[in-house]
Structure 1
C-alpha cells in the first residue's frame, strides 16, 4: 500500500554510491484523554469531579435522595483505585 510512497526514499542515490537510509522521527507528546478531561478538574489537592445521577429523571425522587447526588467528589490517592496516578497519566497537561 505504501510501497510507491516510500520508493524514492529507499532507492540508491548516485551521489558517491551511498545508500540513503530514512530516519523515522516520532513525537514524544502524550495525548489527553478527552472523556477524563471533560469530567475532572485539577485542584491544589488533586482532582475533583461532579457526582453522577442528577442530570435527568429526578421528578419522583425525594429531596433527601437528590441531596446525596449533589456536590463534588475528590480522587483517591491510595488503594486499588489510585485515581490520582491514573488521572496524572490521562491528563498530562492539566
Structure 2
C-alpha cells in the first residue's frame, strides 16, 4: 500500500508481527513515558511519531522488512492503526 515499505514474503511478515508485538510490549511504554510532556503539549499528536519510531525499529530488527524513510514509517503506522481498529471492530461485533 505504501511504496516505501517492502516485505519479502509471508514468513518475514510473520516475524515482523512478532517483533512488533515485542516492541509494543517493551519499548513503546518506555518511549511513551519519556515523551509524555511532549505528547501532552501536542494534545496527543506526538503519539504518531512514537508509533513511527516503533515501526522503524521493527524494520531495523527484521531482515527482509524495509522502511525507506521516516515519512514512510509514519504513514505505515497510520495504515496499521486503521486496519487494526477496523479488524478489532469486526471481531468485536461477532463475539
TM-score greater than 0.5 by the shorter chain? no
| TM-score normalised by structure 1 residue count | 0.24
Structure with a larger share of its residues in helix? 2
The higher-RCO structure (CA 8 Å, 6+ apart) is: 2
Query: Larger Cα Rg: Structure 1 or Structure 2?
Result: 1
